[in-house]
Amino acid sequence: MEFKDSKGIFQQIADNICEKIISGEYPVFSKIPSVREQAAVMGVNHNTIMRTYMELQRENIINNQRGIGYFVTEEAPQRIVQLRKEEFFRHEMPEFIRQVKLLNLSQEELKPLFDQLNKQP
């Protein structure tokens, strides 16, 4: 996996896992890759994955059974979407609007954006 240096690696991995959960790649109740396996896949140290998993566990997105592995909780998808929506409306959307105004983008330039957003249900 490639990482931006604008954010902690463990946070990026957490985001990545969360997206796999809400996209269905990691279904509810399923076991996610072990700390060591994930570390190998991501190309990072297993301690870094450990930190990621502990964070996600603290947020009740995964839970673990010692000696067995980590599992996606039943409430995970709902929690992730909820947390992300809050973040989206509190920060990302206002910042996005601020950018548009600061750059003084025209309706013409924004047309592709509208086209994409209008595809939403």
Phi-psi region of 62 (alpha: psi -120 to 50; beta: other; left: phi over 0): beta
Extract the tokens encoding 37. Answer: 């396996």
Kindly state whether residue 23 participates in binding DNA, applying the rule CB under 7 A: no
Binding string, 60-89, against its own copies, x = CB under 8 A? ---------------------x--xx--x-
Tell me what percent of the chain is helix, strand and coil, each rounded to the nearest 5.
60, 5, 30
Separation CA 14–CA 26 (nearest Å): 13
Of 16-24, 34-42, 92-100, 113-121, the window that binds DNA (rule: CB under 7 A) is 34-42
Count other Cβ atoms within 10 Å, centred on residue 55: 15
Kindly state whether residue 66 participates in binding DNA, applying the rule CB under 7 A: yes
Q: Rule CB under 7 A: which residues touch DNA? A: 5, 8-11, 34-37, 43-48, 50-51, 53-54, 64-70
Q: Rule CB under 8 A: which residues touch its own copies? A: 6-7, 19, 22-23, 81, 84-85, 88, 92-93, 96-97, 99-107, 110, 112-114, 116-118, 120-121
